[in-house]
Amino acid sequence: MIHRDIKPANIILCARGSTFDVAKVVDFGLVKQLGPVADEAAAGESNARSSGPDVSRAGYIVGTPLYLAPETMREPGSVDGRADLYALGAVAYFLLTGTVVFGGNCEMDACRHHVVTPPDPPSRRLRAQRPDATIPEDLERIVMQCLAKAPADRPASAKALHAALMACSVAGKWTDADAGGAATAFHAPKPPNSRVLDHDAATTEVSVTAKTIAIDVTHRM
């Protein structure tokens, strides 16, 4: 299946017993099933969507513009799991730099950037804000691979991406003790005037909504 709406708001870090940083993906409202089960799922689809846009109808783009893979706009019928890996790369970019890969003046502007604009390497974006900050080259290489315009240039699967990340120089340096301490600090009372990162404003351009939307491209492109 394809999630089709991977973004920071849909990834929750949890504690499972004494294990911290257990990532849970939530909000499966836009999931698209692939393979033999897809026809059965379509036949038994709930009528709950009938009051809103048909997110599977031709001519519609569904998802969050800040995290949409290029093929979602170019060839929506060819979208597979590598679109989720693109979105995950965009999430990693945001975690590393505090900014989204592409913003824009409107939703369609952000979508256009995903299709035609090469992304800045996260290290370059980060240095513009913190000149002394660095990002490991092998980690940056994986993030940029996830953000490749062509699906064939991205990791072949989530399993392949996991293997690449586990081979990174930073793998294993974040310990359970680190995670536990971070979780405790996160839930502690915040001091007055503490700055919370505004996700929607974290872009070098005018902010685009971080909400899931359906765009009728037939009338807007």
120 is catalytic: no
Q: Look at residues 4, 43, 61, 37 and name the one whose alpha carbon lies nearest to residue 219.
A: 61
Terminal Cα-to-Cα distance of the chain (whole angstroms) = 28
Residue 190 per-residue DSSP state = P
CA–CA distance, 85 with 69 (Å, rounded to integer): 9
Q: Look at residues 198, 191, 158, 193 and name the one whose alpha carbon lies nearest to residue 23.
A: 158
CA–CA distance, 77 with 145 (Å, rounded to integer): 22
DSSP string of 35-88, one letter each residue: STHHHHHHHT--GGGGGS--TTSTTEEEE-GGG--HHHHH-GGG--THHHHHHH
36 burial type by CB count under 10 A (0-12 exposed, 13-18 middle, 19+ buried): exposed
The single residue of 5, 21, 39, 80 carrying the catalytic annotation is 5
Give me the active site residues, please: 5
